[in-house]
Structure 1
Amino acid sequence: MIPPLKIIIADDHPLFRQALVNILTSQFDNVTLFEAETVTALDEILQQHDDADLLLLDLNIPKAHGFNTLVNIRNTYPHIGIVVISGQEDKVTVGKSMSFGAAGFIPKSTSAHQMVKAINSVLAGQQWSPVNSSDLASVTLDSVSSKIASLSPRQHRILMMFADGLLNKQIAYELGLSEATVKAHASAIFLKLGVHTRTQAVIAMSQLYLDKVSLVAEVE
C-alpha cells in the first residue's frame, strides 16, 4: 500500500491555509495535511513528522525572521522539499528563496491550477519558480547571507533564539543543553560571522529579513 503524501502548510492566515487545504484535498487522492500558524507549531510538526514530503512555507509566518526559518529547515531536514509561498514576488525575493534551498516559489497571487502544477513539479524532483532561471542568475547571496547559511542547524537555531531575546539559560533549557554548551555555540557563531557580540550577530542575521530584500529590490 502506498503511504499517504504528507504536506505541511505553514501560514498564519487561516483563510489562505483553508484555501490551500481545499486545493490539495481536491487534487491529491491520498494526502495527509498538517497546518502550522507559527514557527513554534511548525517545529513541533516537523519533529513529529520528519518524513513529510513537502512543506509549503510562508516567509512571513510569525518569528520566521525572513529567510532564516527557510535556512534552518533546509539544513535540518534536507530531505523535505520546501516551496515558499509569499505575497512578495519580486525577483530578489524569488532568487534568494531558491538560493537558500527552496525547491519552488509560488506567489500568493498564483491561480489554483498553477499552484497544483508547481507542487507536482517539486514532488517530481524539479524546481519551479515564476521567474525565468536566466533572470535569477543575477541574484547572488552577499557574504553575510552566505556566512549565516553556513551555520550548522544547531548554531542557526541558537542565533534565531538570540534574535527572540532569549538568555543563555533559557536557550539551554529549551534545547536541553548546558549553559556552557550554549556559550560554546555562541562563540562558534561569532567566529563564523566575524562579530564579537550577540547584538552584532543579530544585526548580521537581519540581512536575511524580507524588508532588507525589498530595499534591494527597490534600489534595482
Structure 2
Amino acid sequence: MSLPKILVADDHPLFRAAVLHALRDVVDVQATLEAASVSALTAAVDEHPDVELVLLDLAMPGARGFSSLVWLRGERPDLPVLVISSNDHPRVIRRAQQFGAAGFIPKSAPVDAIRTAVQAVMEGGTSFPPITAERSERDAQLAARLAQLTPQQFRVLLAVADGLLNKQIAYEFGLAENTVKVHVTAILKKLECHSRTQAAVLVKALEPEGDFDPAA
C-alpha cells in the first residue's frame, strides 16, 4: 500500500510548519507539499494528481472566501479537504460543510485536535466541531449552481467577478478570446444569470459572511 501525499495550503509559514509537524506524528506520508497562495495551490494540484488530502486555509492570497474549496471540489471531487480557518463562527463551519469540506479545524485548535481531525478524514470519515448554525437552503442552491461549472469555467467566473474583460481573461489563462466568450456564455446560462454583474454577486456570496438571493 503506497503512502499518502498531503498538501498544506496556508500563507503562514509557521502555521504550515506546525501542521506538518503534527501530521508526522499521525500518519506515515510519502510527501508533504506546501502552498502559500491560490495560484500555488492550483499548480500543486495539477502537478500532483496523487495528492490524497488537502488542508486548506480559506484566507490565502487569491482566495475569495470559499472559492478555493469550491474549486477543489469541482477539480477533484474525490479529494478530501480539511478547512483551516481563524474564523470559526458556527455559520462559517456550516458553510464549509455545505460546500463540500470533509472537516474543519479552527486555527486556535490544539495540536491533538489537528491530529484527530486528520486521522478521521484519512480514514474516510469527517471531522467538524459541534455546529450550532442551521443548514442554509440558499447555500445548498449556490453549491448546486456552482457544481454545474467545469473547473475552467469556475476559474473564468472568478476572473469575471474580479472585473476582468474577456481579452484580459484570455491573456491570463492563455486562451483565445473567442474561447473565453464561449465560457462566459455557458457560465451565465448554467448559473441562470442575465449579466456578468449577477454572476459576480454569486461569487461575492462565497465570502464567509456572504449571502445571495437565489431568485435574483
TM-score by length of 1: 0.87
RMSD: 1.9
Question: Aligned-pair distance for 1:97?
Answer: 0.6
| Secondary structure, aligned partner of 1:7 | strand
Question: Matches of residues 65-214 of structure 1 in structure 2 within 5 Å?
Answer: 65-132=64-131, 135=132, 138-142=134-138, 143-212=141-210
**Identical amino acids, percent of aligned pairs:** 41
**Does structure 2 retain, via aligned residues, the 8 Å contact 1:7–1:55?**
yes
Question: Aligned-pair distance for 1:144?
Answer: 4.1
Opposite residue 202 of structure 1, the aligned amino acid is A
Opposite residue 61 of structure 2, the aligned amino acid is P
Total equivalences in the alignment: 209
Structure 2 CA distance for partners of 1:80 and 1:154, relative to 1, 3 Å: same
1:146-195 Cα offsets, whole Å, 9 max, x none, are 42343232221110122334332233344443221211111121223333
Opposite residue 210 of structure 1, the aligned amino acid is P
Moved more, 89-98 or 139-148: 139-148
Q: Which runs of 5+ in 1 are unaligned?
A: 214-220
Structure holding more helix per residue: 1
Inter-partner Cα distance in structure 2 for 1:46 and 1:83: 15
Inter-partner Cα distance in structure 1 for 2:56 and 2:174: 27
Inter-partner Cα distance in structure 2 for 1:116 and 1:144: 32
Q: Which runs of 5+ in 2 are unaligned?
A: 212-216
TM-score by length of 2: 0.88
**Does structure 2 retain, via aligned residues, the 8 Å contact 1:86–1:106?**
yes
1:48-69 Cα offsets, whole Å, 9 max, x none, are 1011010000011111111111
| Secondary structure, aligned partner of 1:210 | coil
**Does structure 2 retain, via aligned residues, the 8 Å contact 1:96–1:141?**
no
| Secondary structure, aligned partner of 2:51 | coil
